[in-house]
Amino acid sequence: MPVTSLKARRVDSRERAPGPISPRSRLWLDFVNTDAAAQQPGGDLLRDFEALLTWLQTQAAVDDERASGIRRRAVLQPAAAAATLVDARRVRAALRALAERGQHIERVRDDALIEINRVLGRSAGTRRLDPLPEGGFSRIFVPTGDAFAGLMIPIVESAADTMIIEELPRVRRCADPRCHRVFLDGTKNGLRRWCDMGTCGNRAKAARHRARAQGAA
């Protein structure tokens, strides 16, 4: 079902008691972090349609049975598969802008909303709750018609959820100017600066230590 108004759904979100913010990233942020900027020098993780589909499988956004069917369809319709990859990158670019500047710039939020609703509006299907093999449940989208059309649904719904529950102020880019990764700050005080303390955080600490040592010399 297309989401035509985030404002209408936000009323419902406010009726729920706020819960703790998970320290892990959201699916849409993980998706943003597949781009070449975040992966330097490794390059774009979505280098072709197969890489896109494999990534979605790894993230449990597409189950194995559906992925197999889409792979068969991609062989028969290579142009449609290529167009799907182009569209996925378009969505990703809008979501990167949302992650980096959406909190402060209304136009960026509006552009992201257009992309989210464009994807939701063109994808027909049903939503279903399925049990997971390891226990628990997962909500999935089962598209009808175009096999490729629903691939971005889990991504844009994840971004929509962030906007609906007003979580966007907790989304930011890593403070290391050399790093382009974005993340959700799940800390209690909301002061997390690094995408990963073991890499970017440690580099910043080492740089400060060197600067202090040089200043004392």
Average pLDDT over residues 48-73: 94
Q: Would you list the domain boundaries of the chain? A: 23-167
Asked if 182 contacts 29 with a C-beta cutoff of 8 angstroms, the reply is: yes
Q: Which residues pair with 141 in a beta bridge?
A: 127
Q: Is 43 left (phi over 0), alpha (psi -120 to 50) or beta?
A: left
pLDDT at 205: 61
Q: Is 62 exposed, middle or buried (0-12, 13-18, 19+ CB in 10 A)?
A: buried
pLDDT in tens, 146-190: 778 889 999 999 999 999 999 999 999 999 888 999 999 988 888
> Which of the 8 DSSP states describes residue 4?
-
The residue among 21 and 144 whose pLDDT is bigger is: 144
Asked if 120 contacts 3 with a C-beta cutoff of 8 angstroms, the reply is: yes
DSSP assignment of 47-86, as one string? -SHHHHHHHHHHTTSS-HHHHHHHHHHHHH-HHHHHHHHH
- CATH 1.10.3300 describes domain 23-167: yes
Asked if 80 contacts 148 with a C-beta cutoff of 8 angstroms, the reply is: yes
Count of other CB atoms within 10 angstroms of residue 151: 27
Buried b (16+ CB within 10 A) or exposed e, 79-115: eebeebbebbeebbebbbbbbbebeeeeebbebbbeb
Average pLDDT over residues 88-99: 97
pLDDT at 214: 56
- What pLDDT band is residue 6 in, cutting at 50, 70 and 90? very low
pLDDT at 95: 98
